[in-house]
Amino acid sequence: MAEVDATHDPQLTSWVTAANAAGSDFPIQNLPFAAFRRAGSREPFRGGVAIGAEVLDLGALAAAQPFGGLAGQALAAAARPALNALMSAGATATAALRAALSEALRTGSPLEERLRRLLVPQSAAEYRVAAEVGDYSDFYASIHHATAVGRLFRPDSPLLPNYKWVPIAYHGRASSLRVSAFDVTRPVGQVLTAGAAVPELAATRRLDYELEVGVFIGRGNELGTRIPIGEAEQHVFGLCLLNDWSARDIQSWEYQPLGPFLGKNFATTVSPWVVTLEALAPFRAPWSRPPGEPPPLSYLDDAQVRGAGGFDLELEVLLDTPGMRAAGLAPQRLSRSNFRDSWWTVSQMVTHHTVNGCNLEPGDLIGSGTQSGPAPGEAGSLLELSGGGKRSIALAGGEQRTFLEDGDRVIFHAWCERPPFRRIGFGELAGTVAPAVA
């Protein structure tokens, strides 16, 4: 696991003054990566690093060759249109580049004059998904979400017998992954309305979001091999926010016996910025099971994972409706939860994914599943907050929701905060619902 080092020093400041502001998502202690270009241009995408309200252009920086050794090699990889080459370089190379960028961006750096010309305002940038994602798997790692959803469908037995033993996942659709700010078209599919004997083809009436953490794979493994639990994080590049949009009525009709299909594969959105595990080192959390719960099987158990396998990562969902925007009202928070409450850790998900010899590739994406907490206000989906559509959620201005309506904008934020360290943010993941295509 990455350790706290000089790059995490809370006293470090940057010559990019906005990065020093209290509450900034992107202080010099963070330095997350994205693939970007200037908005409206035909420039090629290339790697960028967030610092304050700016993007440091890694394509232009690589051309200047300011770093040698492993950091220089990693910088050259980061200059490409997607970050797969940087991800495949491995955790040691990523850490070397992050350390070099930290030195270059800190107050008093001799590179300030050269680098200042390479900054692009984030407001003037556009992004793509950080990697070319070959495969995407979505887990079901929150026991609080699984229990709440199971209670809606199986009140007498909310959790299936395997849940506490095996990290459950399904194979998602990589082709429909999009970056934040994408308009999600309301999907059409087969639904069976209450009391009907025959299904119909219709636009979903139960469109939902799922508050998730995304995990980008770094170095992969060969087909037929497995990644041991103690080495799993050496194969992880970083974390992002992920919204697995879900059509609950389509999903409930089709999911047996093979699981999610058209109710989920129409769109998944991710935040542009990927926060490295190195940046998150000060915010690790112990992982444990409550007394009386079954321990994980030996291949999913590790002393380091038990000691610091979790992440103290705060997550929140906000909703912004057309009516709220017209009235000049701010987006309303619907829920807040924490990734440390996940039943399974990132390491366990990666290890279980490969235990049968499945090969992961650099840039592959893993979703954590909806991250809900134990309290009612910590639910990561409208399905839970509305009790399956039975309870309306009161919004500012007098509106109500059970599920999403056309024009609704869903916003995710995430951050780590633990004194004396600087707050580390993930930026914003947002998406607006567009009407179904006739």
Q: Confirm whether 145 is a catalytic residue.
A: yes
Residue 144 to residue 150: CA distance in whole angstroms: 10
One-letter identity of residue 340: R
- Res 105: pLDDT: 98
Report the alpha-carbon distance of residue 95 to residue 279 in Å, rounded. Answer: 9
The stretches of 112-269 forming alpha helices (DSSP H) are 112-116, 143-153, 248-254
93: Cβ–Cβ under 8 A, 6 or more apart, which residues? Answer: 70, 71, 73, 74, 77, 86
pTM beyond 0.95: the answer is yes
Instruction: Look up residue 29 and give its DSSP letter.
Output: T
Residue with tokens 């209450």: 194
Catalytic residue among 8, 145, 352, 413: 145
What's phi and psi for 53, nearest 5 deg?
A: -100, 15
Record the tokens describing residue 96, joined without a space.
Answer: 């070397």
Write out the two tokens for 42. Answer: 């035909």
From the CB of residue 151, how many other CB atoms can be counted at a distance below 10 Å?
16
Give the residue from 386, 77, 431, 424 showing the smallest Cα distance to 284.
424
Q: What is the pLDDT along the chain (438 residues), one digit of tens a residue?
A: 889 999 999 999 999 999 999 999 999 999 999 999 999 999 999 999 999 999 999 999 999 999 999 999 999 999 999 999 999 999 999 999 999 999 999 999 999 999 999 999 999 999 999 999 999 999 999 999 999 999 988 888 899 999 999 999 999 999 999 999 999 999 999 999 989 999 999 999 999 999 999 999 999 999 999 999 999 999 999 999 999 999 999 999 998 888 899 999 999 999 999 999 999 999 999 999 999 999 999 999 999 999 999 999 999 999 999 999 999 999 999 999 999 999 999 999 999 999 999 999 999 999 999 999 999 899 999 999 999 999 999 999 999 999 999 999 999 999 999 999 999 999 999 999 999 997
Q: What residue ranges define each of the domains in the chain, with the CATH number in brackets? A: 6-128 (2.30.30.230), 136-434 (3.90.850.10)
State the Cα–Cα distance between residues 57 and 308, nearest whole angstrom: 33
Whole-number Å distance between alpha carbons of 346 and 169: 13
In DSSP terms, which residues pair with 430 in a beta bridge?
411
Which tokens go with 171?
Answer: 């194979």
Axis-axis angle for helices 69-78, 91-105 (nearest 10): 90
Hey, what amino acid is at 176?
S
Given a contact cutoff of 8 angstroms between Cβ atoms, the answer to whether 39 and 270 are in contact is: no
User: b/e map of 251-289 (b: 16 or more CB within 10 Å)?
Assistant: bbbbeeeeebebbbbbbbbbbbbbbbbbbbbbbbbebee
Give 306's contacts (C-beta < 8 A, 6+ positions apart).
Answer: 286, 287, 288
Report the length, in residues, of the chain: 438
Q: How far from each other are the two terminal CA atoms of the chain, in whole angstroms?
A: 50
The residue with tokens 């030195």 is 103
